[in-house]
Amino acid sequence: MPSICADAPNQAEGTLCAKRKLEAAEAGMARARDALQAKLDPVGRRNLDLAQQAWRRFRDLECHLETGYDADNLDRNGTIMPMLLGECATALTERRARDLTDQMACPGGDLSCER
């Protein structure tokens, strides 16, 4: 995965860049989620909330896998790890926002709908 903050002049700026990119991606995903939620019935809204909770857990663990994050030995992660985790989370969050937007065209239960 190419670095989205590769032009940062130092590690601290790279980490801050990744944090800002993730915040922007989170805001975009929240907008997509809110738009989808407005179209759903109560069961759909509950299912979406549960799916989002599970997705966030997946995203965090997937980024641990992709970056080699070591939860048991934090010293092993190095100073670049927050930036790497942020960039990974940003990419997955942007993808999730697209998926939620696509879901608006495919109401729950319509298996014939193409995304």
In a domain, 112, yes or no: no
In a domain, 113, yes or no: no
**Number of domains forming the structure of the chain:** 1
Task: Write the CATH number for 74.
Answer: 1.20.1270.180
List per-residue pLDDT tens for the chain, 115 residues long. 567 777 888 888 889 999 999 999 999 999 999 999 999 999 999 999 999 999 999 999 999 999 999 988 888 888 899 999 999 999 999 999 999 998 888 766 666 776 5
In a domain, 26, yes or no: yes
Domain that holds residue 99: 11-103
pTM here is: 0.88
* Cα distances (angstroms) measured from residue 17 to each of 5, 33, 106, 111: 6, 24, 35, 40
In a domain, 64, yes or no: yes
Q: What span, in angstroms and rounded, lies between the C-alpha atoms of 28 and 82?
A: 21
Q: What span, in angstroms and rounded, lies between the C-alpha atoms of 82 and 89?
A: 10
In a domain, 109, yes or no: no
Q: What span, in angstroms and rounded, lies between the C-alpha atoms of 98 and 35?
A: 12
Query: How many residues are listed for the chain in this entry?
Result: 115
CB distance 60 to 89 below 8 Å: yes
CB distance 92 to 28 below 8 Å: no
Q: How much is the pLDDT for 7?
A: 82
Q: What span, in angstroms and rounded, lies between the C-alpha atoms of 101 and 112?
A: 17
In a domain, 93, yes or no: yes
Per the listing, tokens 């979406």 go with 48
